[in-house]
Amino acid sequence: MSAKEINEIKAIAGSYNLENYDQVKDTFEWEDAAKELSYFQTGKVNAAYETIDRHVEEGYGDKIALHYINGDERKSLTFNEVKHQTDHYAQVLKDHGVQKGDRVFVFLPKTPACYISILAVIKIGAIAGPLFEAFMEEAVKDRINDCKGTVLITDKELVKRVPQKDIPSLETILFAEEIDALPQAPAKESLVEWVDLEDGLIIHYTSGSTGKPKGVLHAHRSMIHHIISGKWVLDIQEDDVYWCTSHPGWVTGSVYGLFAPWLNRATIVIQGGRFKAENWYQLIAELKVTTWYSAPTAFRMLLSQGEIFKEYDLSSLRHILSVGEPLNPEVIHWAWNNLGLRIHDTWWMTETGGHLIVNLPNEKIKPGSMGRPFPGITVGILDSEGNELPRGSVGQLAIRAPWPGLMKEIWGNKDKFNSYFLYEGWYISGDLALQDEEGYVFFQGRSDDMINSAGERIGPFEVESKLIEHPAVSEAGVVGKPDPIRGEIVKAFITLRTGFVESEALLEEIRLFVRKNLSAHAAPREIEVVDELPKTKISGKILRRKLKEQELQKLHA
Ligand code: PRX
């Protein structure tokens, strides 16, 4: 980037929270970040206290904490109001006997109640398990059963997708509508349960290439990572209106939709409803959003709608970020040419708990790269024996462990946890990448069969297991097929049981079966019936890799 371009951006941005990556990258200590939190003086921690209560105590109670927008509905809450509501929810949870360390699930659409519920759970020392609002019965059941959740906060609509009889650990279901309607008694004493940095904070379920989704448990210490990356990468400043488009059921929606912005006292936007380009632009214009964190699929969908953005005043925007899937240079160029802003890519994973590879706001961007390691983070590109490869080579993307955001454990699965740390001192991401001489990291794909559709991580095993529950399906192999908008779509190859004949109607029925029982985002967009599936000779395992190769050859033919 030329000096002129940097100055132009600076003129829009004012001053940055982090002036120069090169100055801090070698000297930064995580301990410096910990000093931003009040626990540093007391030794006591609670992430809900640090996100909300602390700002009230420091005199910012009247500042707007959130704007909620859904269709014609509008609501804004101050930090005072969020604190009171969080206390109210926390008291209700306590009255129902919730104790430190219990797993309390939150299954709500993107509304203030969803954010408040998560914080209330954390405030009393329990572990929050947020669930994506589009999950269907099987997805909900598997997750709550896995870590034996005892309490669920949901609403009268979503509860229809909770198969209560099949979740034996679940003792109590609370409805947000009913909690809201209860009289709010002023709390007699603080409801904050002071915990240890290592105590459990939040559990996010995520897919791998084998088995059911795994529960990635994060500890309160991860807020050290959240606060400093919120400051430097999101570049949150006092007057910002910050909008992260992800639902808190996904790690981006909790870490960078809730914790990082609120630890930095930002005003956040919570938007309900489905994606619609006009509504998104309208939201930015109406609420004067300054900082916007979304995903490449969303940007590509906006881009595909042509020039309608010209009808909206988007001049409040000063910083745009992206995560979850490869960000194509065309999208960066579109935003630069049309909005006068660069989109800043960030790379991290559910397991890593926070940003690891980033583009800081005032640093040079190389379109096609995910950016450089966050200060305090060391990247290694490893060969299959765990040796570091020279710059410019493609290998396994690994990070020197630990760092504050790193997961604490995989719930009840030590082997799975250990599988991330096969080589002494390294966390292995499962991504393939190369790093250039200047430290920029370029994504090259996955080393396993995980599918990334619209930035959402989908495990083929979960989809295959659901497919073969359908009476017509004998065997199934599921892969990601490249797609210009969604990055990849889920494609299923199936064989039919005898007696069933392929038809459009049957394939649609099978697709809906997965959609209805698992979730919409994991349902195959394409299903192809084949006579047989390729398998390994010895164990007879379905060779997804072969299916994917065939699919890619077809695309390039
Ligand atoms: O393959 C990488 C891809 O998303 C995976 C992590 O998915 P998840 O745990 O759902 O977290 C998503 C957001 C934190 C990674 O292993 N991924 C994430 N960010 C990028 C990316 N691929 C390319 N570019 C990125 N910026």
Which domains can be identified in the chain, with CATH numbers?
A: 3-435 (3.40.50.12780), 448-556 (3.30.300.30)
Relative orientation angle of helices 112-123 and 79-95, to the nearest 10 degrees: 60
Reduce the DSSP state of residue 65 to 3 states and report it: strand
- Cα–Cα dist 405/46, whole Å: 15
Burial 337-373 (b: 16+ CB within 10 A, else e): eebebbbbbbbbbbbbbbbbbbbbbbbbbbeebbbbb
- Cα–Cα dist 184/63, whole Å: 22
CB within 8 Å of 231: residues ≥ 6 apart: 17, 18, 36, 264
**Ligand 1 neighbourhood includes 326 CB (under 6 angstroms):** yes
pLDDT in tens, the chain (557 residues): 555 565 565 555 557 898 788 888 889 999 999 998 888 778 889 999 999 999 999 999 999 999 999 999 999 999 999 999 999 999 999 999 999 999 999 999 999 999 999 999 999 999 999 999 999 999 999 999 999 999 999 999 999 999 999 999 999 999 999 999 998 877 677 899 999 999 999 999 998 778 889 999 999 999 999 999 999 999 999 999 999 999 999 999 999 999 999 999 999 999 999 899 999 999 999 999 999 999 999 999 999 998 999 999 999 999 999 999 999 999 999 999 999 999 999 999 999 999 999 999 989 999 999 999 999 999 999 999 999 999 999 999 999 999 999 999 999 999 999 999 999 999 999 999 999 999 999 999 999 999 999 999 999 999 999 999 999 999 999 999 999 999 999 999 999 999 999 999 999 999 999 999 999 999 999 999 999 999 998 888 999 999 999 999 998 88
- Nearest CA among 322, 350, 376 for reference residue 214: 350
Q: Which one of 328, 452, 488, 519 would you pick to mutate in the ligand 1 pocket, going by the greatest count of ligand atoms within 8 A of its CB?
A: 452
Q: What is the model's pLDDT at position 56? A: 97
CB within 8 Å of 417: residues ≥ 6 apart: 407, 409, 410
- 8 Å CB contact between 432 and 446: yes
**Ligand 1 neighbourhood includes 205 CB (under 6 angstroms):** no
- 8 Å CB contact between 357 and 369: no
Residue in this structure with the two tokens 């956040």, named with its chain if needed: 268
Q: What is the model's pLDDT at position 40? A: 76
Distance 496 CA to ligand 1 centre (A): 34
- Cα–Cα dist 188/183, whole Å: 15
User: Of ligand 1's atoms, which has the minimum distance to the CA of residue 251?
Assistant: 14
**Ligand 1 neighbourhood includes 78 CB (under 6 angstroms):** no
- Nearest CA among 178, 143, 146, 141 for reference residue 161: 141
Phi, psi of 269 (to 5 degrees): -110, 130
CB atoms within 10 A of CB 484: 8
CA trace torsion 392, 421, 252, 338 (10° rounding):
0
pLDDT digits (tens, 9 = 90+) for 296-336: 999 999 999 989 999 999 999 999 999 999 999 999 999 99
pTM: 0.95
The pairing of strands 426-435 and 395-400 is: antiparallel
pLDDT digits (tens, 9 = 90+) for 89-109: 999 999 999 999 999 999 999
Residue in this structure with the two tokens 């970040």, named with its chain if needed: 33
% residues pLDDT > 90 (the chain): 89
**Ligand 1 neighbourhood includes 348 CB (under 6 angstroms):** yes
The pairing of strands 241-244 and 64-70 is: unpaired
DSSP character at residue 255: I
**Ligand 1 neighbourhood includes 345 CB (under 6 angstroms):** yes
Reduce the DSSP state of residue 413 to 3 states and report it: coil
